[in-house]
Amino acid sequence: MIYEEKTKSKIQSSILEEKKQHGYLWLLFSYLKKHPGFGILIFILSILGSAMAVSIPLLMQQTLNCLRLGNGATTTFVIWQFAWQDWVALQLVFYVVLAIFIFTRNIAVGKLGKDIEIFLRNETLKALIKQDISYYSNQKIGEILTKIGADTWLIGEQTRQIPTMMLMAVFNFIGSAIVLIFIDWKLGLISMSFVLFGLSMMFFFLKRVRMWIGRLRTTITYVNGDITDRIGVIRLIKASGTEEYEKKRFQEIHGDFYDTVKKFFKRLSFVLTGAFLTIMSIQLIVLSSAYGFYSNDLQHLVIIATTFIAGLGTMTSPIFLLLRFAFGYMMANECTRRVHQITNSKPRFDAHYYKGEGKELLQIDKDIVFHEVSFNYPEKPEVNVLPNFNFTFEKGKSYAFVGETGSGKSSIAKLLLRFYDPTEGKILINGEDNLKDLNLKSYLDKVGYVEQEPQIMFGTAKENIMYTSPNASEEEVIAAAKKANLHNLIMSWPNKYETMLGERGFMLSGGQKQRLVIARMFLKNPQLLILDEATSALDNIVEKEIQAELDKLMKGRTSISIAHRLSTIKNVDQIIVLARGLGVVQMGTFNELKNQEGHFKNLYEAGLMKEEKAVKE
CA distances from 33 to 40, 170, 379 (A): 10, 21, 39
Residue 32 or 415 with smaller CB distance to ligand ATP: 415
Residue 329 or 420 with smaller CB distance to ligand ATP: 420
Q: Which of 412, 187, 207, 215 is nearest to 307 (CA)?
A: 187
- Of the ranges 97-105, 138-146, 377-385, 475-483, which one interacts with ligand ATP (CB under 6 A)? 377-385
- Write down the least CB distance from residue 379 to ligand ATP, Å: 4
- Of the ranges 194-202, 379-387, 460-468, 541-549, which one interacts with ligand ATP (CB under 6 A)? 379-387
- Write down the least CB distance from residue 533 to ligand ATP, Å: 7
Does residue number 149 form part of the binding site for ligand ATP (CB under 6 A)? no
CA distances from 363 to 327, 393, 432, 522 (A): 57, 15, 13, 17
Residue 406 or 598 with smaller CB distance to ligand ATP: 406
Does residue number 581 form part of the binding site for ligand ATP (CB under 6 A)? no
Residue 61 or 559 with smaller CB distance to ligand ATP: 559
- The pattern of x and - marking residues 102 through 141 that bind ligand ATP according to CB under 6 A reads -----------------------------------x----
- Write down the least CB distance from residue 43 to ligand ATP, Å: 51
What is the C-alpha separation between 351 and 131, in angstroms, rounded? 9
3-state secondary structure of 452: coil
> Directed axis angle between helix 24-34 and helix 152-183, to 10°?
90
User: Of residues 229, 379, 474, 573, which one binds ligand ATP by CB under 6 A?
Assistant: 379
3-state secondary structure of 353: coil
Q: Which of 331, 246, 254, 10 is nearest to 139 (CA)?
A: 10
- Write down the least CB distance from residue 454 to ligand ATP, Å: 16
Instruction: Enumerate residues 67-106 that contact ligand ATP by CB under 6 A.
Output: none
- Write down the least CB distance from residue 477 to ligand ATP, Å: 32
- Write down the least CB distance from residue 599 to ligand ATP, Å: 13
- The answer to whether 271 touches 327, Cβ cutoff 8 Å, is no
What is the C-alpha separation between 52 and 46, in angstroms, rounded? 10
Residue 253 or 584 with smaller CB distance to ligand ATP: 584
What is the C-alpha separation between 483 and 488, in angstroms, rounded? 11
Instruction: Enumerate residues 446-505 that contact ligand ATP by CB under 6 A.
Output: none
What is the C-alpha separation between 322 and 279, in angstroms, rounded? 13
Site residue total, ligand ATP (CB under 6 A): 13
- The answer to whether 314 touches 175, Cβ cutoff 8 Å, is yes
What is the C-alpha separation between 81 and 382, in angstroms, rounded? 89
What is the C-alpha separation between 393 and 430, in angstroms, rounded? 10
Sheet holding 528-532, edge to edge: 447-451, 528-532, 558-562, 398-403, 574-579, 583-588
Residue 69 or 383 with smaller CB distance to ligand ATP: 383
Does residue number 377 form part of the binding site for ligand ATP (CB under 6 A)? yes
Residue 224 or 535 with smaller CB distance to ligand ATP: 535
- Write down the least CB distance from residue 404 to ligand ATP, Å: 7
Q: Which residues pair with 586 in a beta bridge?
A: 577
Helix segments in 233-297, DSSP class H: 234-240, 243-294
Residue 250 or 419 with smaller CB distance to ligand ATP: 419
Instruction: Enumerate residues 391-420 that contact ligand ATP by CB under 6 A.
Output: 403, 405-411
Residue 154 or 538 with smaller CB distance to ligand ATP: 538
Binding site for ligand ATP (CB under 6 A): 137, 377, 379-380, 385, 403, 405-411
